[in-house]
Amino acid sequence: MKELALKYGCNPNQAPARLFMAGGGDLPLRVINGRPGYINFLDALNAWQLVKALQAATGLPAAASFKHVSPAGAAIGKPLNAAQARAFFVEDMEGLNDSPLACAYARARGADRLCSFGDFIALSHPCDVTTARLIAREVSDGVIAPGYLPEALEILKTKRGGNYSVIEIDAHYVPEKLEKRQVFGITLEQGFNDAVIDRKLLSNIVTKNKTLPEAAVQDLLVALITLKYTQSNSVCYALDGQAIGVGAGQQSRVHCVRLAGDKADLFLLRQHEKSLNLPFVKGLARPIRDNAVDVFLSKRAKAQFGKGGWQGIFTREPEYLTEDEKRACLDKQSGVSLASDAFFPFDDSILRARESGVSYIAQPGGSIRDDEVIARCDAYGMVMARTGLRLFHH
């Protein structure tokens, strides 16, 4: 197929819209089901690049949950423990740990279930039945993968009244070396960003502490590859093979770190016993449950759930987490990895990162205050790798 007509562009007033190859060749993808839109394809094509790179760097199946051209979550296919399965609301999914691909998506979606609502999914491998069953019960716009098992495809076709978007992409497709885009009728051209992110990128450790465990190498690769496809400025916190907090599109570096750090904190607090044991009403819709957990972990929990506000969501008023309990939980955390798409201009980002248990950092370097940033890492015993590779994405 050489061209796909789209319903409209980013907004309904932006028509006509289409998908095609500038050189007139065949598209390296096909729509198996549904009718993906302009934004769907922006998410799908960025997300596909992310999971393909993750799989190449780690050797494990990968998945991404994309919203508005940035990842809400990304992960590789590591088994889930009991607390993770409960926090991601997949403890009832039979045979989950038998499918690394399903584990990858459970983690990608579980990184930030609030932001993943209505996501576009990318899978590095052909979609299997367990992964399809997992996708089928979430609110999602569509999925892109290099293939689908017949039974998995039939499951996906039942979503959204049969209109769920399912895209199959040629796993061997390689884009041209130059890419173009138009802004305000003016064409910009640049080289395609084919920079490879692998463990060699982490070899220049500039801190006194130079011990970088294999698990941290894996997490830093997840974080760096996630950033390559995240709208800049951006930072990513990662733990146990998955992104746990992504800060995208901020104008200052420290605001990225704070935003992503707040998300990482919520991810960690969702595994607190009080969060895991929330007394939900049986049969509560998954999106309502996700929203309730987010409110429960906020400072306004008592105001919203007090005086009967919990009714219809919980069987009783929940046992709230105090701010002291939250801080105590986070203070126990260590071993979190943090990557940045550009250098840290000040050490304030390191100060904030420490509050979320960060022990390992990767960043390009190149600031006039690099020495101050490294000194702050040394003060906390952190390990920092200077990659020399900027990862701006727009």
For the stretch 146-185, pLDDT in tens is 999 999 999 999 999 999 999 999 999 999 999 999 999 9
278 and 264 share one domain = no
Residue 216 belongs to a domain: yes
pLDDT, one tens digit per residue, over 53-69 is 999 999 999 999 999 99
Distance CA 27, CA 237 (A): 35
Distance CA 79, CA 58 (A): 15
305 and 333 share one domain = no
- pLDDT of res. 167: 98
Last residue within a domain, chosen from 108, 143, 174: 174
Instruction: Cite the active site residues.
Output: 67-68, 233, 394
Residue 292 belongs to a domain: yes
Lowest mean per-residue pLDDT among 28-32, 145-149, 305-309, 353-357: 305-309
Last residue within a domain, chosen from 105, 140, 174: 174
221 and 349 share one domain = yes
- pLDDT of res. 372: 96
Q: Give the DSSP letter of residue 392.
A: -
231 and 376 share one domain = yes
pLDDT, one tens digit per residue, over 369-386 is 999 999 999 999 999 999
Residue 73 belongs to a domain: yes
Contact call for residues 231 and 237 (beta carbons, < 8 A): no
40 and 157 share one domain = yes
Which pTM was predicted? 0.96
- pLDDT of res. 1: 82
Q: Which domain holds residue 204?
A: 179-269+329-386
Residue 351 belongs to a domain: yes
232 and 305 share one domain = no
Alpha helices in the chain (DSSP H): 38-58, 82-87, 100-110, 129-136, 150-156, 214-228, 253-269, 273-276, 286-296, 301-305, 323-331, 348-354, 370-379
Residue 167 belongs to a domain: yes
256 and 376 share one domain = yes
80 and 210 share one domain = no
215 and 334 share one domain = yes
281 and 263 share one domain = no
**Tokens 């992110």 appear where?**
197
SS3 (DSSP) at 294: helix
What's the CATH number where 237 sits?
A: 3.40.140.20
249 and 380 share one domain = yes
Residue 393 belongs to a domain: no
357 and 301 share one domain = no
Residue 117 belongs to a domain: yes
Last residue within a domain, chosen from 140, 158, 174: 174
How many structural domains comprise the chain?
3
CA distances from 105 to 30, 111, 122, 125 (A): 22, 10, 9, 11
Residue 394 belongs to a domain: no
